[in-house]
Amino acid sequence: MKKIVCIGGGPAGLYFSILSKRARPDVDVVVIERGAPRQTIGWGLILSEGLLDRLVRQDRASGEAIRRQMLPWTGISIELPGRSIRSRGHSFLSLSRVGLISVLQERAEELGVELVYDHAFDAEREPLPEADLVVVSEGSRSKVRDARAADFGVTAEERPNKYIWLGVAKSMGDQFRFIFEETPGGYIWAHCYQFEDGYSTFVVECAETVWRALGFDRGGLEESVEACRRIFSRQLEGAKILAGDGRRNTSSWTNFKKIDCARWSAGNMVLLGNAAHSAHYSIGSGTRLALDDAAELSRALTLDTLPVPEALAAYEANRKAAAAHLHDAANRSMRWFETLPTELIARGPDRFAYGLLTRSGRIGAAELRRLDPEWFAEFEGGVETQLIAREMEPAPGRTRAISGEVEI
Ligand SMILES: Cc1cc2nc3c(=O)[nH]c(=O)nc-3n(C[C@H](O)[C@H](O)[C@H](O)COP(=O)(O)OP(=O)(O)OC[C@H]3O[C@@H](n4cnc5c(N)ncnc54)[C@H](O)[C@@H]3O)c2cc1C
């Protein structure tokens, strides 16, 4: 192996380039990125403690630099019109996406990776880069992958809900906040948490019917921001909504694109991160999957003595097996938000909150009771809810590990 080219310099492509260059300084590693240095799409990210430990083990310099940026906080708050419910005992770590990308870019440069910025690789017009291995790390809307869709066995689905990834120039408290507002068009909600002092991520989501009823299909970004500011004015308390700098980090309404690929490699091309498989953002685990993919691919290629095709097959098999439980949780969570059980709000906000907290199937009554006995005792007040709680225990083996690998 003499040369590796990664198309796409997000978390997956950058981290793979770092680990590969570290392990094989003799190999030329190039990352082609359409954006400029230290710019990216999106605001904050949640990462798990377990992932951070792995990052430090795999490359201490970048792992420690990422850890230094992480902001810890606890609790999940479910805010409904007229009532807020807080479940304590959870623990999260967040940081800015641009902070993560900047650390990875700096470390890659330091190790001698060639970073080519402002180059949007054109899969239709440009020949594939000449390299022993082309890593396709363009994200879920990868065009290089789609040009070879049959080879990779791509299943791509635009999911029905609309979302926009905004930021807010304000610390929105020390908890993950799910904020639901009822509008004349129906329910709209925000997934919100602070990722650095004075800044929070603010992902607004709703059903497409609500999105149209609220006129989001007709106005531009400014109108959308203004409408979100009005809808969530109680929580924002006048804080500025951030929708990008107008160049690379421009927020826009979109649909989550669910990607599954039957095969992750074809010839000398291999899919990495979101280009290979995407997990719904509502459990906050896509970056973790991307970074773990990168580590596994690098390990398979550089530490094992397998020929490249076998190494790629081992990478795919290991990552598909390791990621299956997260995809299961992400799919359940995605569908819960797509079929938002608003009837539960009328039957008691606690039931709705319980449904939200247990939606991914990885956390159940026993764990919620352990995390926050006070709230759980209140919730469990009625006989009927006790039955619900028992019925909704996750299946054995599906419970998430409380410390280390936390999802929302
Ligand atoms: C609203 C939202 C919230 C999220 N929150 C979390 C969270 O809290 N925690 C978490 O773990 N994950 C979260 N995720 C998921 C996470 O952002 C992705 O899973 C992760 O970024 C995947 O990394 P990637 O490198 O595979 O792809 P991407 O991050 O999409 O990176 C792809 C890169 O390729 C570049 N590129 C694309 N096409 C080309 C081209 N033709 N030429 C050159 N460059 C190209 C892009 O500019 C980009 O830099 C969230 C996602 C969303 C949408």
Q: What is the pLDDT of residues 133-157, one digit of tens each?
A: 999 999 999 999 999 999 999 999 9
pLDDT at residue 169, rounded to an integer: 94
The reported pLDDT for the residue numbered 388 is: 52
pLDDT of the residue at 60:
98
What is the interface pTM, i.e. ipTM, of the complex? 0.99
* Residue 365 to residue 388: CA distance in whole angstroms: 9
Which tokens sit at 59? 């490359």
Q: What integer pLDDT is reported at residue 401 of this predicted model?
A: 41
Q: Which one, of 89, 52, 50, 53, lies nearest residue 73 by Cα?
A: 89
> Do the beta carbons of residue 193 and residue 326 sit within 8 Å?
no
Other beta carbons within 10 angstroms of residue 65's beta carbon come to 19
Angle at 97 between CA 172 and CA 167, to 5 degrees: 35
Span from the CA of 248 to the centroid of ligand 1 (angstroms) = 13
| Band of pLDDT at residue 249, cut at 50, 70 and 90 | low
* d(C-alpha 136, C-alpha 144), whole Å: 7
Closest-lying ligand 1 atom to the alpha carbon of residue 248: 47
Q: Which fold has domain 3-70+95-158+255-335?
A: FAD/NAD(P)-binding domain (3.50.50)
Is the beta carbon of 167 within 6 A of some atom in ligand 1? no
Q: Among 69, 58, 54, which residue's Cα sits nearest to residue 111?
A: 58
Give how far Cα 346 sits from Cα of 84, 188, 349, Å.
Answer: 14, 16, 7
The ligand 1 atom nearest the CA atom of 286: 19
More confident residue, 135 or 91: 135
Per-domain residue ranges for the chain?
Answer: 3-70+95-158+255-335, 160-254, 364-394
What's the mean per-residue pLDDT of the chain?
A: 90
The tokens for 380 are 């469990």
pLDDT one-digit tens code per residue, 250-264:
789 999 999 999 999
**Closest to 135 (Cα-Cα) out of 311, 294, 19, 305:** 294
Give every CB contact of residue 192 below 8 A, 6+ residues apart in sequence. Answer: 168, 172, 176, 177, 178, 179, 200, 201, 202, 203, 235
- Written as six digits, the tokens of 397 are 């083996």
Please say whether the beta carbons of 337 and 282 come within 8 A: yes
Residue 274 alpha carbon to ligand 1 centre in Å = 7
Residue 205: strand pairing partners:
163, 189
Pocket of ligand 1 contains residue 8 by CB under 6 Å:
yes
DSSP 8-state assignment for residue 27: S
pLDDT recorded at residue 28: 97
347 contacts: CB under 8 Å, gap ≥ 6: none
d(CA 175, CA 73): 6
CB count in 10 Å sphere of residue 183: 14
Instruction: State which ligand 1 atom lies nearest to the alpha carbon of 288.
Output: 11
What would the two tokens of residue 314 be? 């081992």
Nearest CA to ligand 1 atom 52: 281
Q: Which residue matches tokens 């192996």?
A: 1
What is the rounded end-to-end Cα distance, in angstroms, of the chain?
Answer: 40
Model confidence at 304, in pLDDT bands (50, 70, 90)? low
- Over range 303-323, report the average pLDDT: 92
Fold adopted by 160-254:
D-Amino Acid Oxidase; Chain A, domain 2 (3.30.9)
- Best of 274, 282, 406 to mutate for ligand 1, by most ligand atoms within 8 A of CB? 274
CA of 70 to the centre of ligand 1 (A): 19
Stronger pLDDT, 404 or 127, i.e. the higher one: 127
Q: Is the CB of 101 under 6 A from ligand 1?
A: no
Please work out whether the CB of residue 287 comes within 6 Å of at least one atom of ligand 1.
yes
Binding site membership of 276 for ligand 1 (Cβ less than 6 Å): no
Cβ(138) to ligand 1 under 6 A? yes
Q: What is the mean pLDDT of residues 112-140?
A: 97
Instruction: Measure the CA–CA gap between 191 and 35, rounded to whole angstroms.
Output: 26
Residues 6+ apart with CB under 8 A from 21: 27, 29, 108, 111, 112, 113
Indicate if ligand 1 lies below 6 Å from the C-beta of 154.
no
Torsion of CA 36, 37, 41, 47, to 10 degrees: 160
Q: Residue 86 is encoded by which pair of tokens?
A: 């807080």
In whole angstroms, give the CA distance from residue 41 to residue 25.
Answer: 30
Average pLDDT over residues 263-290: 97
Percent of the residues in the chain that have a pLDDT greater than 70, as a whole number = 91
Q: Does the Cβ of 290 fall within 6 Å of ligand 1? A: yes
Compute the distance between CA of residue 220 and CA of residue 216 in angstroms, rounded to an integer: 8
User: Over the stretch 362-400, which tens digit does the pLDDT of each residue have?
Assistant: 888 888 888 888 888 877 765 355 545 444 545 444 544
What does DSSP assign to residue 282?
G
**Ramachandran region, residue 119 (left: φ > 0; alpha: ψ -120 to 50; beta: rest):** beta
- How far apart CA 191 and CA 56 sit, in angstroms, is 28
SS3 92: strand
